[in-house]
Every structure is written in C-alpha cells, then in structure tokens.
Amino acid sequence: MRNSSLLAALLLAGGAALAQAGGSVGNGLAANNGTAAAARTTSAAPGGFVGPERGTLVIVGGGKLGPEIWNRFIEAAGGVNAHIVVIPTAGDDSAIARGRSSEKEALEALGVKDVTILHTRDPKVANTDAFVAPLKKATGVWFNGGRQWKIADAYLHTKSHEAFKDVLARGGVIGGTSAGATIQGAFLFRGDTKGNTILVGDHLEGLDFIHNVAIDQHVLRRNRQFDLIGLIKEKPELLGIGIDESTAIVVQQNTFEVIGASYVAIYDAARFGKQAPATAANSNTGTVSGDFFFLGKGQKYDLLGRQVIDRPRGSEGQ
C-alpha cells in the first residue's frame, strides 16, 4: 500500500467507485437540501483563518498511528505534563463499556501522566458544567474512530462543543483519527446513520474546527480517493481533504503539514480538470491531471489561498 505501483492500481480501480460516488452524493444532497442549507459550511473563517487561530489540529486518516503522529500530538498538548481528554463516543457501546482504551494506554506509554476518558451519548449531559469540567484544564483532546455522527449527536452545539473550542483558544491541540478526523471539518462526510457508504446523509454538520472543509479518511486503503469529487462539485465553496491511513495533517491557522506514512488528497473545485500541481507525491504516483492531487510527508498546503506552499525543485509556474 505504501508504494506508487499499488497506489496507481487503486486509482485505476476507482472508476466504478467514482460513478457510484457521484450518484450517492447527488441523491444525498437533493434529499437533504434544507438541512444542507443549515449546515455551517460557508461561514467566514473567524479572523481570516481556515484552521484554528490559536492551537493545533492533528487530523489522522485512520489505521495504525506511528510514533511520529502521537509525538506531534503530545508535543502540541504540552509534552508529558499534558492534560489529555480522550473522547471514545464514536465507538460502539460494547467497546466503550469494556472500559479499555488503547489510546489512553498509548499516551501513557509515551509518558503522559494525566489522561481522562470522557463520554456520553446524551447532549443534555454534554451541556452540563459537571460534564465539561475535565475539559476546562485540558491541553489536548483526542477523538477516537467509529461513526462520526455519534460525536455530532452527543456534542454539537453544547457546552462540550464550546469547551473543545476553548482548548484550541488556550493554545492546546485537538486530534482524532478516522471518524475523529472527519468530525473536525465543517461538512460531515459519510455522516449517515444507515452506513458509511452513504456519502451525504442525515448528518451534515461537523464540529467546524477547520472551516469550509470536508474530510474523508482511509482514502487509499479503502479505495475512496474518488468519493469526495461529487460533493465538491455540488458544493465548490468546500475544500475536500482525503487522508490515507497512518497519515495526518497538522493544522495551524491557514497552513497544514503532512506527516506519517502515506498521502493526502486535495479536492479543489477551481482545479477540477486542470493539470495537477507539481508535488513530490504526484511525481511518485504519476498523478498529472484530474479532480484531485496528492501531498506527501513534509509537504505543506495553504488552506486560505488553496495552494501548495513548498514545491519540489523545477515545479515553478505550476
């Protein structure tokens, strides 16, 4: 999976997926027209920032998290003296009831001493001062994988939601993987309660830590790299970001950097049908044109200007 030949095979295999995705997105948007209008996908970025004005987002595409990703998250939270709150709400009730958290164990194994698990499915509980108390001292919040609509149902527009934003305002970090990645965007992709193959469904609003953005995950591992195209064509004000497994974007203000083992795909309606910008990732994958392009480890992207920041030598003019 982590080589250009297999990635190219996935791209070729995705033609059918593209056709199917286009239908799913179109039908979903038509069926949810009123709800879509209510979703905060076109709100102006406060202070002119797409990402958080203060603080950091670590948005992971699922799969195994290597030390680089965990260490970046811990560093942004304040190192071993961080106060981290893990939110397992996207997961299944049976898994949560067992009380074991692999994320908590991973953080503690890396030296973090203060890790708290915080969970409810009741937005009334999430809207209480008693529930949000651990968030008041948190320097980092981590959202687990599962189904992103469960996070929205529990926390959207509650005191918990405001407390998450306050973590960023204090200069802290919010991270998450898989469902915990998608929920950080403004538009909630794959948010239908009936299943994650419905691309635009009955939940459309994310927690909006990163504005005017829709996020997908597991994109290459699960052959999803074509799935965001239909949504971005229907809603060109959105930027689509598709993140592969074991890979993350680290967002601060208007910039993100790619870290981890694989690639991040960018979907910008203004570039559809044009030659892809020259990037090291596109050079490795043979991506020249189309409706998305790739960024690889160490590359950076300007979220406000919607352009690659650092380009390989010889790419000027692209």
Single-letter amino acid code for the residue at 279: T
Note the pLDDT of residue 7.
Answer: 58
Single-letter amino acid code for the residue at 148: Q
**CA of residue 148 relative to chain centroid, distance:** 10
Note the pLDDT of residue 263.
Answer: 97
CATH 3.40.50.620 fits 4-303, yes or no: no
- Is 230 buried (19+), middle (13-18) or exposed (0-12) by CB count in 10 A? buried
The rounded distance, in Å, linking the Cα atoms of 256 and 3 is 23
- Is 9 buried (19+), middle (13-18) or exposed (0-12) by CB count in 10 A? exposed
Judge contact between 156 and 124, C-beta under 8 A: no
Non-local CB neighbours of 30 within 8 Å, separated by 6+ positions: none
Nearest to 151 by CA among 185, 179, 118, 192: 179
Note the pLDDT of residue 1.
Answer: 45
Can you give the pTM of this predicted structure?
A: 0.87
The rounded distance, in Å, linking the Cα atoms of 257 and 58 is 10
Note the pLDDT of residue 47.
Answer: 76
The rounded distance, in Å, linking the Cα atoms of 8 and 14 is 10
The rounded distance, in Å, linking the Cα atoms of 124 and 146 is 22
Note down pLDDT in tens along the chain; length 318 residues.
444 444 554 554 444 444 344 445 544 554 443 343 334 444 446 679 999 999 999 999 999 999 999 999 999 999 999 999 999 999 999 989 988 899 999 999 999 999 999 999 999 999 999 999 999 999 999 999 999 999 999 999 999 999 999 999 999 999 999 999 999 999 999 999 999 999 999 999 999 999 999 999 999 999 999 999 999 999 999 999 999 999 999 999 999 999 999 999 999 999 998 888 888 888 777 777 689 999 999 999 999 999 999 654 444 444
